[in-house]
Amino acid sequence: MKDATGELSMTAIAVVAIAAIALLFRQFVWPSIQNNIQRNTYCSQAHACNCPTGASTCTCNYFNDAGTEITGLKCPNNQKGLNN
């Protein structure tokens, strides 16, 4: 019976540890990944970019799903199709 209790305890510890790691990922890592995906999507659709000489970022415009032009998007200066 003691062996079964020990295995149950180890299983409970493993479940709690996995849940803690999943919670940390969901709270801290996933939002950053989502923001990068969203920014990369918008930057790939950007137009009318203003890229100062030597700057690492450009200020661009893009159209959202509703067709409204959004201004002030910061995109990397190395994107293809941007007016440098």
pLDDT digits (tens, 9 = 90+) for 3-51: 666 778 889 999 999 999 999 999 999 999 999 998 888 888 888 899 8
Neighbours of 61 (CB within 10 A): 16
Domain spans, the chain: 2-76
Strands 57-63 and 69-76 turn out to be antiparallel
From CA 18, how far away is CA 25, in angstroms rounded?
11
In this predicted structure, which of 1-5, 28-32, 53-57, 73-77 has the lowest mean pLDDT? 1-5
pTM: 0.58
